[in-house]
Amino acid sequence: MKVVTTVKELRRKFGKVIFPPVGLVPTMGALHEGHLSLVLSAIRECETVIVSIYVNPEQFNDKEDLKNYPRNTEKDLEMLQGVLRGNDLVFIPSDKEIYPEKDTRIFNFGNLDKVMEALHRPGHFNGVAKVVSRLFELTNPDISYFGIKDFQQVAVVKALVKQCGFNIRISAKPVIRETDGLAMSSRNQLLEPGIRDQAPVIYHTLRKVSSMMKEKDIPDIKIFVRNNIEKHKDFEIEYFEIVDDVELIPVNRKDEMGNDRRYYGCIAVKAGKIRLIDNIEIELS
Ligand code: PAF
């Protein structure tokens, strides 16, 4: 694999060694098995794989969160070295390379940017759209890979591709979990040990939701979710919503759910100081 840090080098490499199809895996580093599974999918499907590592300040609405975001480029490169091929690239740009000038673009994603994460992290998806569109322009991939753990981000990126007319397929891959069920996330390493031990309650609660849907309606389920998670000291729900996978409109009653859509239970929990998100597809029958 080759490591490049500037747009100039990236373009120089493109001129010589890029074979299509090109797969892009955008990341913010602190790589884990979830990222690795995206990279492995890209390797299976693409002749050239580009993994970008860039902690994008534009998508952090909280300065402390940006400051504390885990960074370990050396370990990331070791991990990638084990799987990437000679032809593949790791792109580790600086802020100046991604934003040579102030990026003042304002995107409009309609409802996608008005619910759940958007309410709790104002400006987050606008920042994601800025960096992802820039990475798409720079690397011009055929396929780009994202984890469905960031369910709303996947919907926003698909909308971005449509709006900007990128000829890129977005490949959304399943949540990869620790053996106890906790969804893998770079932020997991920031959890205090006592809190980490209890964090699988999030996934176990989501699984229960899926089975409860047969007998109970959504208001009762929401009460269950809150009680089951908040019975753990230091755990606080930011939101739990059941939404469709197209417009992400929260449903309040089961009879609002149509047969032509898929539905997901999406949750954000403050576990101590760390914010965790997860989701599960709701089986209706
Ligand atoms: O999911 C992430 O890690 C980030 O939001 C992304 C897509 C790399 C953009 O910074």
Structure confidence by residue, pLDDT tens digits, 194-247:
999 999 999 999 999 988 998 999 999 999 999 999 999 999 999 999 999 999
Number of domains in the chain: 2
As a whole number of Å, the CA-based R_g of the chain is 19
Residues 127 and 190 in one domain: no
Task: Name the residue range of residue 202's domain.
Answer: 186-282
| Residue of 32, 35, 204, 232 marked catalytic | 35
Q: Please state the atom number of ligand 1 nearest to the C-alpha of residue 55.
A: 10
Judgement on whether residues 110 and 250 belong to the same structural domain of the protein: no
Residue where the block lists tokens 């101590």: 272
Angstrom distance (rounded) from CA 29 to CA 132: 15
Q: For residues 267 and 275, what is the distance between their CA atoms, to the nearest angstrom? A: 10
Write down the pTM of the prediction: 0.97
Continuous segment of H or E residues that includes residue 269: strand 263-271
**Angstrom distance (rounded) from CA 23 to CA 46:** 6
The reply to whether ligand 1 has any atom less than 6 angstroms from the CB of 172 is no
Work out the average pLDDT over 54-81: 97
The edge-to-edge listing of strands for the beta sheet with 274-282 is 235-244, 263-271, 274-282
Atom of ligand 1 nearest to the CA of 186: 3
pLDDT bucket at 284, cuts 50 / 70 / 90: confident
Percent of the chain whose predicted confidence (pLDDT) is above 70: 99
Residue 42 sits in a domain of what CATH number?
Answer: 3.40.50.620
Does residue 128 line the site of ligand 1, with CB under 6 A? yes
**Res. 19 pLDDT band, cuts 50 70 90:** confident
Which residue has a Cα nearest atom 2 of ligand 1?
27
Q: Would you give the DSSP letter of residue 59?
A: G
Taking residues 24-35, what's their average pLDDT? 98
Q: 167 and 217, same structural domain?
A: no
Taking the centre of ligand 1 as the mean of its atom positions, its distance from the CA of residue 244, in whole angstroms, is 22
Classify strands 263-271 and 274-282 as parallel, antiparallel or unpaired.
antiparallel
